[in-house]
Structure formats: structure tokens, C-alpha cells
Structure 1
């Protein structure tokens, strides 16, 4: 079930309250040119979607707490049968009011002539500069007109402020309905990973496995991949954002798959699994796989209200460093290695990120000098890994890497929601025990 319109209304009420006396201008995403006269598939701007649920390009939403009768105004493309023959149905101004809760709606072409009047009387203007080259000049022009008239009228918006902090804080804490959508994205994504492991074998290509995964996304009603699927065999897995996906799968290699779907209302899954192409780990592969899994389980166990992302990362990192010392891939003391960063040629990224409408979702990780405490409703990924290759120099004083370890890249990633009493692993149906990775 998609997010109901009642929830979009509740979000707008909260947003209007948080704006105080400022008026907000939030543009929708435009169509983006792919080549010649062909556009990429449309993807709505996340903040605009979060507040409106309106899934058409080029619209603009106004939030006007100083106009109590009409605080939510949409500018949209009007109904046009000739345009709809080519590009499909539009809701138009009537639909924006009847189906999306706008108090008023106007044709998008009228924004330039109407914007200044709507912003008149606001104490400030909330608008994200530097993102929309079409709407931004209109906002600045409207504000400039207010400033020019201020000596006569005595009224002008005091300044431009960013709406981002308000929206980031709202979006960081997911509602029960949002968690259900994230569970659905996790379910479909987990099923695709299970299917990929069933069919993978030496001689197939990375691209064929990508096709299996993304076919499942579409068959299950998702929009498609939430991001460029990573299907990386062997040493390719040591390239963190590898997306060429064009190499053959080789007997004896591991296959790392980092892939998740985006459901109809843009909530995302993000899962990584790593398994042997031929169904059996080598000794070195199993040793590193079990170490990454131990680190991930320790990190997940630390997810609870009052903890923070730094603690989650620290839990994984300590397990990894201790294990690498035991395997002879590092030497020294655990605390010194962590303080010096002498492990970063083997583990060079953080252990997770926020997840929601964006795969790397909005929300602060720190509040000034202090980490953001985890709260119920927050959702984050937990994804430690190890990547053994010649790409990064071995730090001075650390052992050179033996050939038997090289070309092993492993990451294990799950989506985890913070609950009142601890956490929920949304992606638990994607198996990861070492025995489950073999056949």
C-alpha cells in the first residue's frame, strides 16, 4: 500500500508549522535530457514528493503559513489532450486540488506573474539556491521587488533561508507507513538477491546476473533499480562503485552484488551479498567472509535508541581490525591501528548511511560536536567490507599482502530500522550465513 494522501497532508501541516513566518518554494524535478530529444525516465525530487505526492515534472509547490486560507498552492502543467497523446496523462489544476490536496492550483506558466503576490507578507523565503536554474531567478526577482517596495510598504521578507534543515529532520524519522514501504522495497530486493545466487555459475557474465536481479524488480512492480546495480566478480569487487558489469564470472572467484529496488513511491532497498561463483569458498575467502559477517553482526547488534552511527561503525571496525591482525594482514595494536587509520588500504569506507526516499538519504550524522543519537523510526544501512588489492599502497610498517589474498572483495549490507527496544533488520530474508552462500 502506497503512502496515503492523509499522511502527505500531515507532513505539510508539520512543515508549515516549522516554517514559522517564512514562505517556502519547493520545485519539482525537471525532465533531464538523455540524448537528442530523448529524456531519462522521470524521477521526482524527493523533498517535493515527500510534501506533495505529486509525480509530474516541472511543478512548483508554495507553502504559505502567512496565508491561512490558502497555505498550499501548486503550479502544474494544465490538462492538454495534444500533449497527453505524446507523453501521457496529466492531473492538471483540477486534479492538483481534488486528488493532491492543494488549496489552489495554477498553470505552471503563471508562476512568474503570480509568485511575488503569494510571497508578499512572508517574513522570509525558504528556497534552496543553486539547484533550479529556472525557478531561482523568479524567487530572487520576487524578493527583489519586495525589497524595492519596502521603504513605501514597510514590509519585505528579511532574507532567504534554506528549507533543507526542516525537511532533513522530518525525513530522517520514518512513519509507520514509510517503514512499510521500506519493508516492501527490502522484500523485493532480498528476493532478487536470492534469485541471483540460485542462477550464478562460472561462464555466465556479470550482466546476465544483473538482468536476473532487475527483471525481478520489475516483475514485482518496482520502478526498477534504486541505483546502478553493482555485480562484481573477482577483483572487480575491490572497486567500490563498479557498474560496468560486463566481465565473465570465473570459477574460483567471489561475486559481490550490491543492488536494491525503488518501489512505486520511491522508497528504496539497498542490499549487498557476496558468495562464491562455483558454490564453494576457498580457505582465504571463507576466512575474510566470516570476518566481515562477524563485524556486520556486531554492528547491527549495536543499533538501538540512544546509540549513534559512530558507535555502529566503531563496532564493525574493531572486529575487522582484530580479525585482520589475527590473519596477519595487519600488525600492531588494535587501538593504534584504528587511531592511525592503518587499516584503510583494506577497509576504506564507513559502515553505513541513512536510507529512505534517497538511497543515501538526508539527515544529519552529527549535531555540532556530538553524533546524532539513533531514534525509533530512523533507518540505516550496515555494510562493512574488506577489499584486498594492489590499488592502494600498504601503509609503512604494515605487512605486504600475499598473492593468495589479492582479488578478494567482500561486503555484506543490510537495511536496519531503529525500534523502541532495539532494531529490525528489514532485509533479513536475504541469507548471509556462510553455509547458505555455498551449494
Structure 2
């Protein structure tokens, strides 16, 4: 199942309603140069995709609630057989109308001459300044011309505002169609993690495990990895964003894999699992693994309507700190250690993030002084970890780290949807019990 044209139409209707009498200009992503005249693979801007489903570069969408006869206008690259021979199929202006629901469509080259007229009569202009250098001068010029004419015409857009707050509120709360896509991304990602555990063994290179994971993504119809896959053996796992993935796997080390796929319509999975390369935990590895798993289970239990992401994080931190005190890696009272942040040389990141069209998806975590309460349809990762190395100094008053602990990096991450009665772990098919991690 892919997101239907009707769903995009419904999203546009909601967005237009929330705009009131403000016109919005939402550009697509451009092609980005990789080197010389070679571009990176195209990835559509998530806001543009969310509202249009149009997967070509350089387009611009106008949302015009003040023009009821044509509130949705697309500017796209026109059909051009010579260009399509080199770069592939284009829908063109006709396809933008018949396939993507635009009320009107024009060649992208006509944006400069047509934009001012389309924005005329709007009470404001919603446009994200600083992100779209080819479009921004056109928007500012159209707005400036309105302001120049205002003393005579009595009409001008009153201000330039960001569309992000309105649009990202919509994206934060997933519909059932979106949850189905996230379940599919979770399924493929979980299968890849199960496969990786079967493949990994001492003597392989991290990159060979990465290849097995990403081959599964492609074989299952995904676009590929949702982000740079992390395949980190031993001490490499203590580097949070390690992506070199070029070291040999050694017996006695743990292997941390943080990898998820991105579907054809950009919905993502994001899973982390950690397991012993040689099939058995050492005593120290098992003690820390059990602690991280207990912290994750406590944090997931907090995911329910009315709770918030800060409570999820706090639940994980409390379990981790208490366990580290018992293991002798921290000393002091748990509350005081948490207040002082004395654990952060061992656990230095938050416990999760929103998930959706972006891996680190849009949406506020706080509104002023108040955390955003969790609601059904929100999806977040829950990913506590511990990373024991010499990279960060041990805080004053805390015990030096014995060599037997060093080089152990563990993270366990699942994708969790908030439901009306609690939560759903979308990635439950990726096993994580200590027993399942051994062989």
C-alpha cells in the first residue's frame, strides 16, 4: 500500500484551512551536486512531499486559500524529450493536474512572472526564509512590490511568516495511512536486523554486514537506508554517529547496528540492536546490556497519551543511573547524580526523537515552558544506551573506569507509536532479549 492521491488532497485541504487568508509558497528540493557534474540521488523535501506527493526536483507549490477557484497551483519542469533521455521521465504540467491534483500547473520558468499575481490579495505570505535560494528572491520581490503599491491600492500582504508551525503540527500526528507505512518500514528494517545477526561473525568486516542489511532493504522494495547505517564493532560503538564501517569484527566484541530503511514514499524505520560478535556476552557486557534493556523497557512503558518525551527520557535515565551505581561505575545518590548530570560521560544523548517522513521528524518537544503531551498518532523512537570509553573525562568525584568495562557500547532502539490506550512497538519483530542476542 502507498499513500493515495486522496490522502494528499485531504492534507492540502487541512493546510489551506489552517492558512486562513495567508498564501503559502512551498518549494521542492533541488538536485544537489555530489562532485563535478554528478548529482546525489534525489530526495524530495518532506514538507513538499507531504502536501503534493510529487517526486521531481525544482518544483514550487502555491497554496492560495484566497483564490477559491484554484487554491493549489504547481510550477514544474515541462515535458522535454531531450531532457528525459538523459535524466528520466517527467510528469510535466498536464501530469501535475491529472495525476497530482493541481488546479493549475505552469512551467517552472514562469514562476518569476506569475508569482506576484497569484499572491495578490493574500493577507500574508507563508514562506521559509533562508532555505530556498532560487525561490526566495522571487517571493521577496513579489512581496516588496505589494508593499510599494499599498499606499495606492490599499492592499498588501501584512507579513512574511514561516509555514513550518502549521505544517509540522499536521505532520507530527500520523494518520492510519501513515502508521501503515511506518509499520512496513519497521517490518523491513526488523528483518534486516535479524538477518545481520545471522550473518555477523568474527573475521568479517563491518561493511560486509552493512551490505547484507542494505541489500535486504533494496530487495524488499525500499529506496534504501533511511540514514547512514551504523555498523560499529567493539569500541567503535562508543562513537555515536560512527559510519566508517570498515573495521574487522573481533571475537569478544559487541556489534552495535543502527540501521533502518526508507520506503518509496519516504516513511522510515530506525532500529538499533547490539549483540556479541562471537555469540556470547562477557559478564561485563551482559551486565550493561541487561541495564540498557531494563531502561528501555521502563521508558517504553511511559509512552501513552498525556505523558511526554521528557518523562520517557527521565524514566530511562533513572534506571541507567541506578544500575550504574550498583555496578560501581557511578557513586552517590541517584537523584543527585541525575541533577548534576554526573552520568553523561556514559550516556550523553536523549532517549528518542519523533519519527516519520524524516528520521528526526518535525514537531516541537516543548511549547514554551511546557512539554508537548503525547497524543495518539505520534511516533517516537526509544533508544537508551551506554558508551564506556576514555573519550569524555570522568566527572570529579566519580570513580575511574576499570579497563574491563572500556570499549563497551550498547544501544537498544525501537519505534513506538502512541495509541489511544497506550503504545504500539512497531519494531517488535527485531528481537532484543539477551538470550536472543546470543547463539
**Inter-partner Cα distance in structure 1 for 2:371 and 2:199:** 42
Q: Mapping of 1:417-428 within 5 angstroms?
A: 417-428=417-428
Aligned to 1:57: 57
**Inter-partner Cα distance in structure 1 for 2:5 and 2:165:** 23
Aligned to 2:255: 255
Aligned to 2:429: 429
Answering whether residue 109 of structure 2 is matched by residue 128 of structure 1, we say no
Which secondary structure does the structure 2 equivalent of 1:435 belong to? helix
Answering whether residue 213 of structure 2 is matched by residue 213 of structure 1, we say yes
Per the TM alignment, residue 152 of structure 1 is displaced from its structure 2 partner at its CA by 1.2
Q: Mapping of 1:22-421 within 5 angstroms?
A: 22-421=22-421
Aligned to 2:21: 21
Per the TM alignment, residue 145 of structure 1 is displaced from its structure 2 partner at its CA by 0.6
Cα root mean square deviation, aligned:
0.4
- Provide Cα deviations, 1:18-48, integer angstroms capped at 9, x if missing partner: 1111100000000000011110000000000
Per the TM alignment, residue 368 of structure 1 is displaced from its structure 2 partner at its CA by 1.2
- Provide Cα deviations, 1:85-130, integer angstroms capped at 9, x if missing partner: 1111100000000010000000000000000000000000000000
Per the TM alignment, residue 14 of structure 1 is displaced from its structure 2 partner at its CA by 0.5
**Inter-partner Cα distance in structure 1 for 2:348 and 2:138:** 43
Per the TM alignment, residue 387 of structure 1 is displaced from its structure 2 partner at its CA by 0.1
**Inter-partner Cα distance in structure 1 for 2:20 and 2:129:** 20
Aligned to 2:5: 5
Runs (5+) with no aligned partner, structure 1: none
**Inter-partner Cα distance in structure 1 for 2:368 and 2:37:** 46
Per the TM alignment, residue 251 of structure 1 is displaced from its structure 2 partner at its CA by 0.8
**Inter-partner Cα distance in structure 2 for 1:27 and 1:154:** 29
**Inter-partner Cα distance in structure 2 for 1:403 and 1:231:** 23
**Inter-partner Cα distance in structure 1 for 2:21 and 2:335:** 50
Which secondary structure does the structure 1 equivalent of 2:417 belong to? strand
Per the TM alignment, residue 433 of structure 1 is displaced from its structure 2 partner at its CA by 0.3
Instruction: Name segments (4+ residues, structure 1) moved above 4 Å.
Output: none
Runs (5+) with no aligned partner, structure 2: none
**Inter-partner Cα distance in structure 1 for 2:325 and 2:200:** 33
Which secondary structure does the structure 1 equivalent of 2:437 belong to? coil
Which secondary structure does the structure 2 equivalent of 1:73 belong to? strand
Which secondary structure does the structure 1 equivalent of 2:255 belong to? strand
TM-score when normalising by structure 1: 1.00
**Inter-partner Cα distance in structure 1 for 2:417 and 2:18:** 25
Per the TM alignment, residue 367 of structure 1 is displaced from its structure 2 partner at its CA by 1.2
